[in-house]
Amino acid sequence: MRQIKCDVVVVGAGPAGSMTAKWAAKNGVDVVLIEKRQEIGAPVRCGEGISKAWLDEVGIEVDPKWIARDIKGAKFVSPTGFTYFVDEKNAGNEVGWVVDRVFFDKALAKDAAKAGAKIMLKTAATGLIWKDGKVAGVKAVSHGEEIEILADAVVGADGYESQIGRWAGIDTSLKPNDILTCYQYRLTNIKYDCDYCEFVLGSAAPGGYVWVFPKTEDTANVGLGILTPLIKNLGDPKMYLDKFIAETPGLKDGQPLECVAGAVSVCAPLDSVCIDHVILVGDAARQIDPITGGGISNSCIAGMFAGKALAKAKETGDYTMNTFQEYEDNWRDRLENKLWRNWMAKEKLVTLDDATLDSLVKTISEVGVEKLSVRNLLAIVKEKHPDLVKEFEDLI
């Protein structure tokens, strides 16, 4: 069997994998980045909204090629149609640009390649290679050929359906209450407010929300997520979305250019996302914002920290937790508090009925919120609806 040797094999060439590969490779690590699909970035499984603030931090150079639309802000719509606008700078993590993941993911992979990473497409990991009780690489099928990729570390950047973590014995299992199941159309021929990312709350998408993220003046990503325990019938997500579109005046004449299904984790941070010789990043590490279901920024930030930790491992020759603890510490310092707070807020939000959600959106728009964050929102809610937030007051 053909064998490939490298320092680090990264499984999955989404944002998390490419960022990890880039930050490791540019610091001298010999990286192989494998991707099971035949094209990086396609098919798209994402609403494609991002904010602008974090790109500098992780060294992503803005390229107009991957920007679909510049967004003025976010628009929150309550169940009875009460609307609240927030400008882009204050609207939180998923608002700023709507990107083209087909180009965005390729740009990140290009950065990884430029840094020295080798990319293998149509290469799916099929299992881990173990030596003396330690992970020593991955078995894979590459263009139909069974191969072994021997490496000092395996990075699982293999998304929601991650196998690397499970194979390595890292507990990434999810409770039904921490899974949003989603459906989305790229909908064209629509009339809508193409300058705002719209979030529709309430029973249009039980336990989640409907999003309308503008791609062009007449085309948007229109999708929704439903919390698993609130699903009643087979195929509810698609059914709810079709119903929402049919009942929304500007959307009902829309025609689909693409349909996407998927699931996203909205859980509390995991206890651990690495063991000796194995690191998980991005969706695979459940580093998704539990309120928005957005993961691009978190994946890139975590990927950068993972890549840096791998560079240190290469330097010291120690690919165990001695070195990887730095990755755990760094991503948690940067993201963990927010993930916890948003998960607890989500746990509460999903229990609210339409009337309460209506009154919440009204309260927020009356009081006004300087910067939209879950922390600020909770503080406002505390004033008018103290009963809703008393269980997690210490987070405010």
Partner 1 sequence: MIVHIEKCHKCGACVGSCPQNAIYLNDVMLEFNENCNRCGRCVKICPVGALEMEGKE
Nearer to partner 1, 172 or 323 (CB): 172
As a whole number of angstroms, the distance between CA 229 and CA 160 comes to 18
Nearer to partner 1, 64 or 233 (CB): 233
Given 113, 124, 321, 396, the residue binding partner 1 (CB under 8 A): 124
- 383's CB contacts (< 8 A; 6+ apart) are 363, 367
Given 18, 163, 292, 342, the residue binding partner 1 (CB under 8 A): 163
Interface with partner 1, residue 139, by CB under 8 A: no
Binding segment (CB under 8 A) for partner 1, from list 16-24, 25-33, 102-110, 161-169? 161-169
Nearer to partner 1, 18 or 265 (CB): 265
Query: Which string of x and - marks every residue 182-221 that binds partner 1 (by CB under 8 A)?
Result: xx--------------------------------------
The answer to whether 241 and 183 are in contact (CB under 8 A) is: yes
As a whole number of angstroms, the distance between CA 111 and CA 68 comes to 20
Question: DSSP string of 293-343?
Answer: ---HHHHHHHHHHHHHHHHHHHHHT--SHHHHHHHHHHHIIIIIHHHHHHH
Binding segment (CB under 8 A) for partner 1, from list 248-256, 261-269, 349-357, 386-394? 261-269
As a whole number of angstroms, the distance between CA 367 and CA 257 comes to 40
Q: Can the peptide bond before residue 206 be classed as cis, meaning omega within 30 degrees of 0?
A: no
As a whole number of angstroms, the distance between CA 380 and CA 275 comes to 41
Binding segment (CB under 8 A) for partner 1, from list 146-154, 171-179, 323-331, 359-367? 171-179
Least separation in angstroms between residue 294's CB and partner 1 is 17
| Ramachandran category for residue 118: left, alpha or beta (phi over 0 → left; psi -120 to 50 → alpha) | beta
Interhelix angle 374-384/337-349, nearest 10 degrees: 40
Query: Which string of x and - marks every residue 221-260 that binds partner 1 (by CB under 8 A)?
Result: -------x--x-xxxxxx--------------------xx
The residue ranges that bind partner 1 (CB under 8 A) are 45, 124, 159-163, 166, 173-174, 176, 179, 181-183, 228, 231, 233-238, 259-263, 265
